[in-house]
């Protein structure tokens, strides 16, 4: 990008304009392009996917009217919400209330800067990549607290307070699990972490040793909690707090919160993929750079969406925990466990390379056995499934 601009300036385009201004304009433009072409559809399609997946799990049909299989539903919803009246309650804080959705939105959007979609497909490979990501995603809590406080509604306030307590607490196990991987990779850069892994599961950090395997689940659970997903969706628990911090919001501002939530879901999947599942690493099948980039992008996308799907699955299955249970889960179990994982991994790094290989292989074997056992246990459900009921729910 920079090289392209330099070349153009050398050729005499933008004559008389200072170099820095050209860079700044180019950055803003590319941000707009990325936002409108990639991030918005991503969050939108995720929302559609969630509704469809959820509907199937609940023997319903889900949105299937707008576009093929309803894939454009998110556009219709967006248009509807933009055209709605923008209501700011008179009792609400007139400055903070309109501002809150944008802060939440910004928190999730900034995360896309460091997400590596391919070897060259990354906005900025910061050398503090993962630290930056943890920092900007914490911005969401500021927005949510702001929304809860400024709405001047008791349900919103309760939701905002719950959210603040929850997100701040779950940052710790998430951060510690991330640290486990940072130690192994020896770098904070997202690309560096991916390059420290390989394309096969045996080279992924997830199966590097039992502690990282454990750390992955700690990270995923904590990330779900940070993203306000069921079973940790207590800030907006609609059966308890009406709608939590979004109670007073409507129209596009309301949508921004959910935009951020679904976008965040993808960020969770992407970070889990980057840290634990080898990111965009693909087997060396082709030398064609374009083909390779596409292959990497698709690999990364599928891996990330697998975890998005798992999050949807969990949301459709589990009830919601109570707020005190949520806190005790974090402080009594997850924080100590993630410390154990961290220390265990550090100790593990003293073992010889060969020893590490063997333990890694055993971990992978254990993981495969777990998956097989899981399908064996739910297998009777498939055998007992009544096709007319489960696969064609709309009859």
Partner 1 sequence: MSETAPAQGFFTEEMTISVGPQHPSTHGVLRFVIKTDGEVISEAIPDVGYLHRSIEKIGEKVTYHGYVPYTDRADYLAAMFANQAFCMAAEKLAGTEVSRRGEFCRIIACELNRLASHLISVGTFGQDIGAMTPFVHALRERESINNLMEEICGARLTYNYIRIGGVGYDILPDTLTRIVEFLDHFGPIVEEFNRLLSGNKIFIQRLAGVAVVSKEDALSYNLVGPNLRGSGIKWDIRRDIPYSIYPELDFEVPVGTAQVGTLGDSYDRFWVRIREMQESVKILYQCLKMLPKGPAIAKVPKKFKPPVGECYARVEAPRGDMGFYVVSDGSEYPYRVRIRTGSFTAMSIIDKLSKGIMVADLIALIGSLDVDAPEIDR
Residues 323-352 that bind partner 1 (CB under 8 A): 323-325
Q: From the CB of 63, what's the least distance to partner 1, in Å?
A: 15
Residues 236-255 that bind partner 1 (CB under 8 A): 237-242
Q: Which of 130, 112, 91, 107 is nearest to 276 (CA)?
A: 130
Q: From the CB of 40, what's the least distance to partner 1, in Å?
A: 26
With b meaning 16 or more CB within 10 Å and e meaning fewer, what string describes 24-50?
eebeeeeeeeeeeeebbebbbbbbbbb
Nearer to partner 1, 313 or 366 (CB): 313
With b meaning 16 or more CB within 10 Å and e meaning fewer, what string describes 110-121?
ebbbbbbbbbee
Single residue of 154, 332, 357, 392 touching partner 1 by CB under 8 A: 154
Binding mask 117-146 for partner 1 (x = CB under 8 A): ------------------------------
- Is-contact 96 145, C-beta < 8 A? no
Q: From the CB of 317, what's the least distance to partner 1, in Å?
A: 6
Considering only 104-112, 313-321, 350-358, 360-368, which stretch makes contact with partner 1 by CB under 8 A? 313-321
Single residue of 10, 95, 386, 394 touching partner 1 by CB under 8 A: 386
Q: Cα torsion at 13, 18, 22, 28 (round to 10°)?
A: -160
- What span, in angstroms and rounded, lies between the C-alpha atoms of 193 and 202? 15
- What span, in angstroms and rounded, lies between the C-alpha atoms of 8 and 47? 40
The Cα angle at residue 230 between residues 316 and 370, in degrees rounded to 5: 65
Please report whether residue 390 would count as binding partner 1 according to CB under 8 A. Answer: no
Q: Which of 301, 229, 303, 213 is nearest to 265 (CA)?
A: 229
Q: From the CB of 141, what's the least distance to partner 1, in Å?
A: 18
Q: From the CB of 240, what's the least distance to partner 1, in Å?
A: 5
Single residue of 47, 209, 212, 230 touching partner 1 by CB under 8 A: 230
Interface with partner 1 by CB under 8 A: which residues? Answer: 54, 57-60, 154-155, 158, 161-162, 230-231, 233-234, 237-242, 315-325, 381, 384, 386, 389, 393
């Amino acid at each position: 990008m920079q090289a392209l601009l330099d070349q153009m300036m050398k050729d005499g385009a933008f004559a008389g304009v200072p170099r820095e201004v050209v860079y700044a304009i180019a950055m803003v433009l590319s941000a707009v392009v990325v936002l409108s072409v990639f991030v918005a559809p991503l969050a939108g399609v995720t929302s559609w996917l969630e509704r469809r997946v959820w509907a199937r799990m609940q023997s319903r049909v889900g949105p299937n009217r707008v576009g093929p299989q309803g894939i454009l539903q998110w556009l219709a919803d967006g248009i509807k919400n933009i055209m709605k009246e923008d209501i700011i309650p008179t009792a609400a804080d007139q400055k903070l209330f309109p501002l809150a959705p944008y802060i939440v939105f910004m928190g999730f959007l900034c995360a896309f800067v460091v997400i590596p979609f391919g070897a060259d497909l990354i906005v900025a490979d910061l050398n503090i990549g993962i630290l930056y990501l943890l920092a900007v995603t914490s911005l969401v809590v500021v927005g949510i607290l702001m929304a809860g406080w400024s709405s001047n509604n008791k349900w919103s306030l309760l939701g905002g307070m719950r959210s603040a307590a929850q997100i701040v607490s779950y940052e710790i196990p998430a951060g510690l699990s991330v640290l486990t991987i940072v130690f192994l990779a020896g770098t904070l850069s997202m690309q560096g972490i991916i390059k420290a892994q390989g394309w096969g599961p045996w080279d992924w950090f997830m199966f590097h040793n039992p502690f990282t395997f454990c750390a992955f689940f700690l990270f995923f659970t904590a990330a779900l909690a940070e993203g306000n997903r069921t079973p940790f969706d207590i800030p907006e628990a609609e059966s308890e707090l009406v709608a939590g911090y979004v109670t007073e919001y409507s129209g596009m501002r309301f949508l921004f919160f959910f935009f951020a939530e679904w976008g965040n879901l993808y960020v969770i999947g992407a970070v889990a993929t980057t840290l634990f599942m080898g990111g965009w690493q693909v087997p060396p099948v082709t030398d064609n750079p374009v083909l390779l980039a596409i292959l990497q992008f698709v690999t990364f996308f599928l891996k990330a969406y697998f975890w998005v799907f798992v999050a949807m699955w969990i949301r459709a299955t589990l009830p919601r925990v109570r707020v005190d249970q949520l806190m005790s889960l974090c402080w009594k179990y997850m924080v100590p466990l993630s410390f154990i994982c961290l220390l265990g991994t550090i100790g593990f790094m003293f073992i010889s390379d060969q020893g590490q290989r063997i333990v890694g292989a055993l971990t992978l074997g254990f993981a495969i056995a777990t998956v097989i056992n899981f399908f064996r246990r739910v297998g009777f459900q498939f055998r007992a499934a009544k096709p007319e009921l489960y696969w064609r729910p709309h009859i």
